Amino acid sequence: MNEKVLMKGNEAIAEAAIAAGCRHFFGYPITPQTEVAAYMSKRMPKIGGVYLQAESEVASINMVLGAGAAGVRVMTSTSSPGISLMAEGISYIAGSDVPCLIVNVQRGGPGLGGIQPSQADYFQATKSTAHGDFHILVFAPSTVQETVDMISTAFDLGDKYRMPAMVLSDGMLGQMMEPVILPEAKDPDKDSKNWAVSGHGNKREHNVVNSLYINPQELEDLVKARFERYKIIQENHQMAEEYLADDADIIIVAYGSSSRVSRSAIDAARAQGIKVGMIRPITLWPFPEKFINKHIGHTKAFLSVEMSMGQMVDDVRLVVNGRAPVEFYGRTGGIIPTPKEVLEQIIRINGGVQ
Amino acid sequence: MTVKGERPHALTKAPFHYCPGCTHGIVHRLVAEVIDELGIEGKTVGVASVGCSVFTYNYFNCDMVQAPHGRAPAVATGVKRARPENVVFTYQGDGDLAAIGMGETVHAAARGENIVAIFINNAIYGMTGGQMAPTTLPGQVTQTTPYGRDVKTAGNPIRVCELLSSLDGVALAERVTVDSVKNVRVAKKAIKKAFEYQIAGKGYCIVEVVSTCPTNWGMSPADAIQWLRDNMLPYYPLGVYKDVGEGEQ
């Protein structure tokens, strides 16, 4: 097993991707993900990999499409405004059934917004990444170690289901340092994808990677087949952590950085005798419905805590579906809620402290 | 019996969807003949762009990937960087290459990306029904320049080969046309040289083919060829704008 090392979140993303056998990185500079690209530019040339700084996020995501179509493990990383620019490419990648990894180290928006941590891209990641009927896998780690572990899972599931995967980080997780154990390094695999465009070598029919289907019936059939795959993913790959949830009267639903704050608030509330727990989604798509459904009945209220004006709360409400009240607390624009603020919300929902 | 006009192996049996008199068919054939002659079909990857030529993935027998509008140079960059041993070409129209994809084109060229761009310049958007293109001539009537392209408001056409030839990463920038047997031969030679340069690792190669669009120009195929000679070629002179040469750099 590898030794424990102290790493910055963004650099850990890069090293974890290399350990997962990724040798192709295309990106464009943007704060607060810069360290991912800087780290890749240092490492890739030393290990026979490709680091290429594109002229825009529009170009980098299309380079990802090209390399992914050619059958190699490929990734890009950016921050919120960059994802908006990549939207077109992500739709084409999804529509062409090409796997890839996209990292979004979120910052405040809309527009140029700010450069401080945010979770305001939840809708974009899980529901409206770009035009057309499609989903991407979305992972939301809450520690540097979990980020490292998620990278290889994201690559593997992306390959398995031939779809883009996103790791949704934020400026706080990207910039902070924590001890991590890196996974054992895997060798790059260039040759296992029999659908890839890598030259037919006069041994097979030509492969075509494409998202254009002029015949509506053909397109509907294809989209439906893709949604059958999505159903399998929803059935098998929901991930969440439950924290003190089994006896909880109040369950906080929070992911990533806001779950770290919520955990502190929960500990403080427990010390005051309030039975509060947490469901921490690790996959945002598929949304971990099973974990919420499990706690319907004993839970008197749910509280979605986010660094946004309230986006994931919609999914919590859809799952709870009127079976319990669903409340929301959030800060936005790059502000991280404090444990004290979250504790106040817990006490308010609890009707004070007994 | 010797069959002279046999279909190149690098073309599939799918019938072209192109309009009568359109020059796409000739250029497809030239690319396919070059692929056959160089024996590279098995390692070639083509990048289809958006426009009339979007269906090239059905016509070429090599592996094909279809790119978003304008992004073919970026997609080709991804393929080539992932698989340097492959031969990678884009097939792009003027709207794709010189309007929405000009950023990707200039930067792929500036990087000296080791790819070939086959550039069809017919001065119009064909697939969407004849709108003004970045290469539409001054005064030319299109669906969106119904009074003729007024350069004061609609801007000036772009001469792509001249523009790109100033970039150090470009190995070959040549403008050809396919209006006559003689010019078809010149065009094929240019396309072949572009592929050979890529195999030799010389950098970005572009072959601009000044082409016709009888349907959207509103002309018969024969009139379109004449219009090309009278109007397109004076504005877009044929010739080699950059050629790093056969030798070692």
Average pLDDT over every residue of B168-192: 98
Q: What is the mean pLDDT of chain B?
A: 96
B67 contacts in chain A (CB < 8 Å) = 62, 65-66, 92
pLDDT in tens, chain A (354 residues): 789 999 999 999 999 999 999 999 999 999 999 999 999 999 999 999 999 999 999 999 999 999 999 999 999 999 999 999 999 999 999 999 999 999 999 999 999 999 999 999 999 999 989 999 999 999 999 999 999 999 999 999 999 999 999 999 999 999 999 999 999 999 998 889 999 999 999 999 999 999 999 999 999 999 999 999 999 999 999 999 999 999 999 999 999 999 999 999 999 999 999 999 999 999 999 999 999 999 999 999 999 999 999 999 999 999 999 999 999 999 999 999 999 999 999 999 999 886
What is the C-alpha separation between B75 and B90, in angstroms, rounded?
9
- Which two tokens mark A137? 């896998």
Cβ within 8 Å, pair B63-A200: yes
Q: Say if B198 is an interface residue toward chain A (CB within 8 Å).
A: no
- Which two tokens mark B64? 């094909």
- Give the model's pLDDT for residue B130: 95
What is the C-alpha separation between B139 and B145, in angstroms, rounded?
8
Q: Say if A209 is an interface residue toward chain B (CB within 8 Å).
A: yes
If DSSP codes are grouped into helix, strand and coil, which group holds residue B128?
A: coil
Residues whose CB is less than 8 angstroms from the CB of residue A257 and which lie 6 or more positions away in sequence, other chains included = A117, A119, A142, A170, A172, A173, A307, A336
A190 contacts in chain B (CB < 8 Å) = 82
HEC string for A56-68: CHHHHHHHHHHHH
- The H helix count followed by the E strand count for chain A is 12, 15
Q: What is the ipTM of this complex?
A: 0.97
Domains in chain A, CATH or no CATH each:
4-236 (3.40.50.970), 241-350 (3.40.50.920)
Residue with tokens 């990533």: A256
Q: Say if B63 is an interface residue toward chain A (CB within 8 Å).
A: yes
Q: Is A9 in contact with A77 (CB distance < 8 Å)?
A: no
Interface test with B, best of A90, A205, A206, A210 (most B CBs within 10 A): A206
What is the C-alpha separation between B121 and B97, in angstroms, rounded?
9
**pTM to 2 decimals?**
0.97
C-beta neighbour count of B249 within 10 angstroms: 9
pLDDT tier, B15 (very low <50, low <70, confident <90, very high otherwise): very high
Q: Say if B162 is an interface residue toward chain A (CB within 8 Å).
A: no
Domains in chain B, CATH or no CATH each:
24-243 (3.40.50.970)
pLDDT tier, B1 (very low <50, low <70, confident <90, very high otherwise): low
If DSSP codes are grouped into helix, strand and coil, which group holds residue B173?
A: strand
What is the C-alpha separation between A321 and A315, in angstroms, rounded?
10
Res. B196: pLDDT tops 80: yes
Whether the link from the prior residue into A32 is cis, omega within 30° of 0, is yes
Cβ-Cβ pairs closer than 8 A, A with B, add up to 140
Beta strands in A282-324 (DSSP E): 283-285, 301-306
